[in-house]
Amino acid sequence: MNQPAPPGTKKSSNVVWCATHVSRADRERLNGHRGAVLWFTGLSGSGKSTISSAVESRLHQLGCRTYVCDGDNIRHGLNGDLGFSPADRVENIRRIAEVAKLFLDAGMIVLTAFISPYRADRAKARERMPRGDFIEVYCRCPLEVCERRDVKGMYRRARAGEIKEFTGISAPYEEPEAAEIVLNTDERSQEECVDAVIRYLRQTGVVAAELP
């Protein structure tokens, strides 16, 4: 009931239509920065979680309102009913995009850290957002390097056939063709990667250029 009452609508004498409504712009003014979606994508082990978390820390230190959506808080909660079938993977990304859109509307800088291997799914997520608010961050790292890191032991299990349809091994990863930010995580330090993201946010006015 955020709209004015349609003409001819009956009202109770006690409940008055409330046209005042807090908008995204109001929240952004209060926050002192614009909302944005930083959509991290890349192979398992390419640094999505690590770098998104480090970017969040830096933004938080700058006084920005931030939130990271990752496997920890999404797969165990909202998307706990989904598996890894093709249909479930599509639905997984769809819901993440919708949640990111809510946080964007709340005036926050939301960072999503999921492999999100399919171009079509990422394109759909982008299309759901107002133009310019969706910032694709590609954590580019050769498969051999990710596999050598094998932080969670997943590649070993995928090679052993214990995990089916593992991205990069037995399922495709479709590289972004025009990501706003490309981080070569095997060549750059975490610090340099974080700097690159923050620089982008300043250049595009998400975060004020004059912040420390």
What are residue 184's DSSP bridge partners?
Answer: 140
Nearer to a second copy, 127 or 203 (CB): 127
Is 12 one of the catalytic residues?
no
Nearer to a second copy, 85 or 203 (CB): 85
Residues that bind a second copy (CB under 8 A): 1-2, 5, 9-12, 14-18, 20-22, 26-27, 30-31, 47, 49-50, 53-54, 56-57, 60, 63, 65-70, 72-73, 77-78, 95, 98-99, 101-103, 105-106, 108, 128, 145, 148-151, 185-190
Q: In what order do the strands lie in the sheet with 36-41?
A: 66-70, 109-113, 36-41, 134-140, 181-184
Phi and psi torsions of 110, nearest 5°: -105, 135
Which element (helix H / strand E) includes 171?
none
**CA distance to 3, 94, 142, 160, 195, per residue, from 111 (Å):** 30, 15, 23, 32, 15
Least distance between a second copy and beta carbon 144 (Å): 11
Nearer to a second copy, 55 or 135 (CB): 55
Q: Locate 198 and state its tokens.
A: 């923050």
Nearer to a second copy, 3 or 178 (CB): 3
Least distance between a second copy and beta carbon 21 (Å): 6
Residue 135: name the closest of 44, 26, 19, 55 by CA.
55
Q: Which of 44, 53, 116, 189 is catalytic?
A: 116
Q: Which residues are catalytic?
A: 116
